[in-house]
Amino acid sequence: MIIPCIDLMDGKVVQLVQGREKALEGDSPDEMLRRFAAFPQIQVIDLDAAMGRGANDGLVEMLASKAVTRVGGGVRTVERAQKLLAEGAFRVIVGTSAFKADGPDLAFLQALVDAVGRERIVLALDSKNGRIVVRGWQEATQFTAEEVIHQLEPCCGGFLCTYVDKEGMMQGTDLDWFRRLRAATDLEITAAGGITTIDDIRALEEMRIHSAVGMAIYTGHLDLAELAAL
């Protein structure tokens, strides 16, 4: 499955490079919904909420009410997850709050599973320089995705694994990393970060891994009609 991405910042659709530098602005959220109508799911990330500097709640609610969305960014409480699902989100993406300094926060995750159900949760294993990063990719932890992915299986319906080192850089992704993750879990994996070509997407499909695609779509490097046909 190919999942187009809508990232929100300051009320606008944007694309960042490695979660830091804004590279471009997209069309309006409504227009992006129209352009992505042929795809079964859309990924919506509130970057302001992820970085702890505000939120785009109105836009997130609008998008969740009009499309099948997986929504992330600032989902750090059970109440926030419940609110997003009540507004129409199909699934919630949880990153920062899934971890403590010494590893996964299993108590919080169990409370979340009890409240919303395992299948409605996607856990984000976003990695830079080999380590999981949190708080809008601004802070590095001391553990790797490979070390924790099996432990986290009871807490989610799947994983969003972003190779932050290549995020937004249009240089391809690390297929070997995704092969290691695929070998470590039988749960659904969605790949993100540096996916640039149809060959990248096909290689991931052969591993039974979904592709979340942003920059390559917004720059026109990947054609929406061709992607929809896949």
Residue 169 confidence (pLDDT) = 58
In one letter, which amino acid is 152?
A: L
Q: In this predicted model, what pLDDT tens digit does every residue of 5-59 receive, in sequence order?
A: 999 999 999 988 766 777 788 889 999 999 999 999 999 999 999 888 899 999 9
Q: Report the CATH fold assignment for 2-229.
A: TIM Barrel (3.20.20)
Q: In this predicted model, what pLDDT tens digit does every residue of 195-213 receive, in sequence order?
A: 999 999 999 999 999 999 9
DSSP labels, 164-227: GGGTTS-S---HHHHHHHHHH-SSEEEEESS--SHHHHHHHHHTT-EEEE-HHHHTTSS-HHHH
For residue 170, pLDDT over 90 is answered with: no
Residue 115 confidence (pLDDT) = 98
What is the C-alpha to C-alpha distance for residues 112 and 194, in angstroms, rounded to an integer?
Answer: 30
DSSP labels, 41-110: -EEEEEHHHHTTS---HHHHHHHHHHS-EEEESS--SHHHHHHHHHTT-SEEEE-GGGEETTEE-HHHHH
For residue 81, pLDDT over 70 is answered with: yes
What is the C-alpha to C-alpha distance for residues 174 and 182, in angstroms, rounded to an integer?
Answer: 13
Residue 19 confidence (pLDDT) = 67
pTM for the whole thing? 0.94
The answer to whether residue 114 is catalytic is: no
Catalytic residue among 46, 126, 186, 199: 126
The answer to whether residue 126 is catalytic is: yes
Q: Which of 103, 174, 104, 97 is nearest to 136 (CA)?
A: 97
Q: Which of 180, 192, 193 is nearest to 148 (CA)?
A: 180
Catalytic residue among 7, 46, 48, 200: 7
DSSP labels, 124-138: E--EETTEEEETTTT
Q: In this predicted model, what pLDDT tens digit does every residue of 137-168 receive, in sequence order?
A: 778 889 999 999 999 999 999 999 999 886 75
Tell me which H or E stretch contains 92: strand 91-94
Q: What is the DSSP secondary structure assignment for residue 163, as one 8-state letter?
A: B
Q: In this predicted model, what pLDDT tens digit does every residue of 46-56 receive, in sequence order?
A: 999 988 889 99
